[in-house]
Amino acid sequence: MTDLLQQAIAAIKAGDKVKGQQLIAQVLKADPRSESAWIWMSGIVDTDKQRRDCLEKVLSINPNNAQAKMGLEKLSKMAGLEQPPAAPVKPAAPPAPPAAPAAVPLPWEAEQPAAPAQPEGGDAERRRAEDAGGGKSHGQQALPAHAG
């Protein structure tokens, strides 16, 4: 881990997200393939879409990164989705085993307050409408939920 990334993490832990984000941006400019920097960036961005983008970037660098996989699963559960919409779907592939818990929680988990049951007119309603066939499907069909 670079000294600059350590400084960014210290700033984030001290509550200075702006400084942390600036330092992580510098780390990513120098090394755009830094999985750790992208994971930490996912913890300080403002929206779940930005979080998802950061975590998907990690998986584009290392498809086996357990922390990024776990983060995308949690984002999907928070959004009420079965699986991340941007993740490639292979119909013939068996379901992936549950990800092992990471030794360190994702940065954004600790500061994430409990979400209200239903935001008024929020993304959850839009996603439900899209899932019901009212939105863009991008050529993918909704998969039935199954136990197991």
Q: Which pLDDT score is estimated for 133?
A: 56
Contacts of 117 by beta carbon, 8 Å cutoff, 6+ apart: none
Distance CA 38, CA 148 (A): 31
Q: Where are the domains of the chain?
A: 1-83
Q: How many CB atoms are located within 10 Å of the residue 37 CB?
A: 28
Residue, of 93 and 21, whose pLDDT is higher: 21
Per residue in 49-89, pLDDT (tens digit) is 999 999 999 999 999 999 999 999 999 888 775 544 555 54
- CATH number, span 1-83: 1.25.40.10
Distance of CA 90 to the CA centre of its chain: 20
Distance CA 7, CA 19 (A): 9
Distance of CA 117 to the CA centre of its chain: 20
Per residue in 7-56, pLDDT (tens digit) is 999 999 999 999 999 999 999 999 999 999 999 999 999 999 999 999 99
pTM above 0.75, yes or no: no
DSSP 86: T
